[in-house]
Amino acid sequence: MNGIKQYSTIEVKTMDQASLESRALIRTASALNAVKENWETKRGDLPEALEKNRKLWTIIASAMQEEDCPQPKEVRTNIMNLALFVFKKTMEVLANPNPNGLGILININMNIAKGLTEHAEASEGTQPEAPSEL
């Protein structure tokens, strides 16, 4: 088990920012989906799953407000609006627990993660290739 944990730690340290963010979004979406798909047995995990998602979106929203944020103003504004929607939806689900209310939060996380992954892959594709040997 120690070897797996060590490998995972090394893997995370070598990931670029977009990949890390994508991975975090996928993990929180997976936690929410586990509750949604197993509502009868996992309903008690709802507050913790929502809290992890809220914390992640708080970090994302905070990053958009940083002076050195590399994102264009329009992108930052859109992400902030999305974060506000996530916070509002989270409160609604907490007030009226329902597995169907989790779908939109799961979809948002997965779509943003997909976009980050595609962006990271596109960035890798633009890197110059090493010259091939003749």
| Domain boundaries defined on the chain | 20-119
Identify the residue whose tokens are 């944990």: 5
Burial level of 83, CB count in 10 A (0-12/13-18/19+)?
buried
Helix (H, G, I), strand (E, B) or coil at 127: coil
Identify the residue whose tokens are 């799953």: 49
pLDDT of 56-96, one tens digit each? 999 999 999 999 988 899 999 999 999 999 999 999 999 99
Structure tokens at 26: 């996928």
What single-letter amino acid sits at 47? Answer: P
Arch. (CATH architecture) of 20-119: Up-down Bundle (1.20)
Structure tokens at 29: 């979406």
* Across 1-5, 76-80, 89-93, 105-109, least confident range: 1-5
